Structure 1
Amino acid sequence: MSANTPAAAAPAKSKKMLIIILGVVAVLVIGGGAAAWFLMSRSHADDEEGSAAPAHKEAPKVAPTFLPLENMVVNLADPGGDRFAQVGITLELDDAKTAEQVKQYLPAIRSGILMLISQRTSSELLQREGKEKLANDILREVSRPLGFSVPTERERARAAAADKEEDPEERPRRRVERNPVRRVLFSSFIIQ
């Protein structure tokens, strides 16, 4: 019997060791799975909070309303007065309600746009920067009757310089209403 006792003790020790190893592996697997779940749920929560925050600040995304204006033919301010531009403009607006408001002021808006274009030379309007400046000026002209103001390049530069000089904590928060006239788009632009 003494010969059987050492042989029986060896399998008992190996069974205990096997159970301990399996227990440690199980704890590591469960702990790793729990850590992975925690990190994944945390990153999803951050994503949901990140995407939800701007949704509360901005209005729901809706398709814009486009209001095409009749083509305008304007004499340009070139020396000799023999150059003219034919310009087609489409306004990108927030909604149909804004389009109706713009239509009420259309004669004044068209007059202002004609005045703006007639002050430009063909060399100005042939450059991309000239067209972009004209689009910004037209945006200002369209927004004015609706009660919104669009700052000029010079005003934006002054505001940026003033913001840099002021302490951000002392600066009062300015609430600016969103202009319902989003953009000015050129549907045609011919200079002769």
Structure 2
Amino acid sequence: MLLVGTALAGVLVGASAGAWFVASRAPADDEDASRAAPVFLPMESMVVNLADSGGDRFAQIGVTLELENAKVQEQVRAYLPNIRSGVLMLASQRSTAELLQRAGKEKLATDILAEVTRTMDYPPPAESERAQADVPEDAAEHAPARRRTQRNPVRRVLFSSFIVQ
């Protein structure tokens, strides 16, 4: 009888612990799901002369930035003139042949993300991870707060239109 009572108590304690664990995790999962929903910030379309010889080729490019959340949107908007200028400079260095290939478009998107990261004074993703691991505590105190504590809130660069003529 004592053995059955002990076994039953063990099962009840285990079931209670399991139910508590599942119940305590549910709100965190909901928070993660709401945080994971991206926000998209479209930029005005841009027309740029390409770097082909003769200078008679151009591209019209529509860029949309995928942001981490809605709070970041106003912060990024404050930098849009600088970001737009950087995008125009990057695109004008490309040739028609380069931009007609998928790899060329992907490289441009990667370069635009790096430009946004630089403009907003965030460390590049690889540098950010390395910096957090390698920087001594006293050196981190003298670093700018954003570089020390935040990662880039711009997740990706997407093209909403891409015309090369």
TM tier, shorter chain? Answer: 0.5 to 0.7
- The equivalent position to 2:67 in structure 1, one of 93, 97, 120, is 93
The answer on whether the counterparts of 2:45 and 2:62 sit within 8 Å (CA) in structure 1 is: yes
1:52-104, Cα deviation, whole Å (9 max, x unpaired) = xx99xx78643211100000000000011111000001100012221101111
Gaps of 5+ in 1: 1-46, 48-53, 157-171
Q: Please, what TM-score do these two structures have when normalized by structure 1?
A: 0.57
User: Contact (CA 8 Å) 2:60, 2:164: kept in 1 or not?
Assistant: yes
Q: CA deviation at 1:146?
A: 2.3
Runs of 5+ consecutive residues of structure 2 not aligned to the other structure? 1-21, 23-28, 127-135, 137-147
Contact 1:139 1:150 in 2 (8 A): no
Name the CA distance, whole Å, in 1 between partners of 2:70 and 2:35. 15
- Give how far 1:128 is off: 1.2
Query: Where do residues 1-192 of structure 1 align in structure 2 (5 Å cutoff)?
Result: 61-150=35-124, 177-192=150-165
Alignment check: 8 A CA contact 1:125 1:131 kept: yes
Kept in 2, the 8 Å contact 1:109–1:141? The answer is yes
The answer to whether the 8 A contact 1:76-1:121 is kept is yes
Distance 1:94 1:189 in 2: 24
Q: 2:161 and 2:73 mapped to 1: Cα distance? A: 21
Question: Does the 8 A contact of 1:140 with 1:149 survive in 2?
Answer: no
Q: Whose radius of gyration is greater, 1 or 2?
A: 1
Identity across matched positions, percent? 67
Q: Is the 8 A contact 2:35 2:69 kept in 1?
A: no
The code of the aligned residue for 1:67 comes to L
Q: CA deviation at 1:147?
A: 2.2
Q: Cα offset for 1:176?
A: 7.8
Inter-partner Cα distance in structure 2 for 1:86 and 1:92: 20
Q: Which amino acid in structure 2 is aligned with residue 144 of structure 1?
A: R
SS at match of 1:86: strand
Matches of 2:33 and 2:70, distance apart in 1: 16
Matched length = 154
The change in CA–CA distance for 1:61 and 1:101 in structure 2 (over 3 A counts) is closer
